[in-house]
Homo-oligomer: A and B are copies of this chain.
Amino acid sequence: MFEAAELDHKVDKAAYREEEAELRRALLQAQRDLGAQKRFPVLILIAGVEGAGKGETVHLLNEWMDPRFIEVTGFGLPTEEEQAHPPMWRFWRALPPKGRIGVFFGAWQTMPILERVLGHLGKGGFAARMEEIMRLERMLAQEGVLLIKYWFHLSKAQQKKRIRSLEKDKGTSWKVTNYDRKLLEHYDDFIEVCEPFLRETSTGEAPWTIVPAADERYRALFVGRHLLSTLRGRLDAKPEPKRAAPAAPPAPPDRVNVLRALTLKQEMSRDAYDKALAEAQGRLARATRHKRYGETSLIAVFEGNDAAGKGGAIRRLGAALDPRAYRIVPVAAPTEEERAQPYLWRFWRHMPRPGRVTVFDRSWYGRVLVERVEGFAPEPDWRRAYAEINDFEEQLVAHGAVVAKFWLAISKEEQHRRFKEREATAFKQHKITEEDWRNREKWDAYEAAVCEMVERTSTGIAPWTLVEADNKLHARVKVIATLADMLEERLRG
């Protein structure tokens, strides 16, 4: 794997100077086209052996291209803020938008490799982390990110030679730290971990490119040429034609489904409601003030038919919480900034720290609901979203969060009654639009989408709760009581 990188590559000064000028011009042009097209973001991962000129290469890229549109992020040990979130959170935050180049210095591979070299991570744990990385990278690739992964390599002899030559020169000997010497000692252990890592994570969508790093000029031209050709390849490619929509899924053999199986009209008197709501709110309040709640967090997702009463339920939930500790995220059509990012980016931004509560009024499930039904997302995209969402929620749960998902279901008749009521009531008129009536016409398509969503994403770690919501009182109590149940169980566990 490293055979080619360890050869004695050389580029002389004259050849370098001659090529560099043209390379810079072409790279700058590619960067301008990227910014003008705004079709995809570019993410460059910089990794590899210590002292192999990774930093110098990033400097060079900034020098060659317009640094205002290159965002370099260096990831060291996670900060307190970063530790308060799932491991992938800090990378999501730093993703470049469409039209821009992001450079990640020490990205998601650094910690697993380091932990494995130091023996803090076993073979199975390491395999699981590689798998996480591959899933993330595949998803980024499918979302259109041009992912370019450079691995800077030096052989042990080249590494040693570099340290010796730095030491010899008084002007540079300060650059050699004990850390460098220690790394040299562990060179073989490091390579033993990196080799299978590179092998496993070099996928068709996102292979590693090994950069022979011993000769400075060779290294620079190697990366420059590779980057240029990869950028140009994608910039000049014609956008892929839209695939024909596949056949509609078969109708099920009977009319029974999880929504129709619900008894939407549940009895609840105002008195019973007042009592039950107060009790559930009390339980929830106690749970979120519990000393062990600091180790967990609550992510509550609300989806439901239009006019199903999400807002009312969320208000009753908020009433039970410390206003400093919770946040409501209303999810509407994505902003321009959000559209320039992979789909899940806008949700990652809002993930709570431990000890907090985040309430999503509509959520990432829009991908498999409105985007599916309205045709905003092509079928292959919403199809893979189920697995991506399960992955996403798995990361949240693995980090300690309780993920509670509610579908508020009302009957078609009850919806009609509420729409009419909204139209007739002055202070409710803003809540009803033409679009609501149009959505209503697609009732059956939405119903099929909800059923598939529940089947594919109601998991042991993050189950859906279907809430019968023709009676708002019942719905609110069920939501708050379910949240209290889930939190109490977590605090016990």
Q: Write the residues of chain A forming the contact surface with B, with a CB cutoff of 8 angstroms.
A: 1, 3-5, 7-11, 19, 122-125, 127-128, 131, 192, 195-196, 199-200, 202-205, 207, 210, 217-218, 221-222, 225-226, 228-229, 232-233, 236-238, 240-241, 243-244, 246-254, 256-258, 261, 380, 383-387, 390, 451, 454-456, 458-461, 464, 466
Contact = CB atoms under 8 A, between A and B. Distances in A.
A222 B251 CA distance: 9
A209 to B, nearest CB: 9
Contact of A455 (B4, B248, B257, B458): B4
A82 to B, nearest CB: 25
Contacts of A11: 253-254
A204 B380 contact: yes
A458 B3 contact: yes
Given A9-B253, A246-B237, A380-B204, A1 B128 contact: no
Contacts of A3: 258, 454-455, 458, 464, 466
Contact of A9 (B192, B200, B237, B254): B254
A12 to B, nearest CB: 9
A254 B221 CA distance: 9
A1 B458 contact: yes
A254 B214 CA distance: 13
Contact of A256 (B7, B221, B236): B7
Contact of A204 (B204, B229, B383): B383
18 contacts: A3-B464, A4-B258, A4-B455, A7-B257, A9-B254, A9-B256, A19-B253, A127-B128, A199-B390, A200-B390, A203-B384, A207-B387, A210-B455, A222-B252, A222-B253, A228-B250, A233-B246, A237-B246
Contact of A383 (B10, B127, B207, B237): B207
A140 to B, nearest CB: 14
Contact of A226 (B207, B250, B386): B250
B456 A202 contact: yes
Contact of A125 (B124, B252, B386): B124
Contacts of A459: 1, 195-196, 199
Contacts of A383: 204, 207
Contacts of A123: 124
A225 B250 contact: yes
Given A254-B10, A456-B207, A460-B192, A237 B244 contact: yes
A239 to B, nearest CB: 11
Given A7-B257, A124-B128, A131-B131, A225 B207 contact: no
A14 to B, nearest CB: 13
Contact of A253 (B218, B232, B466): B218
Nearest to A196: B460
B387 A204 contact: yes
Contact of A221 (B202, B221, B229, B253): B253
A390 B256 CA distance: 47
Nearest to A205: B384
Nearest to A383: B204
Contacts of A241: 241
Contact of A251 (B10, B225, B247, B451): B225
A141 to B, nearest CB: 12
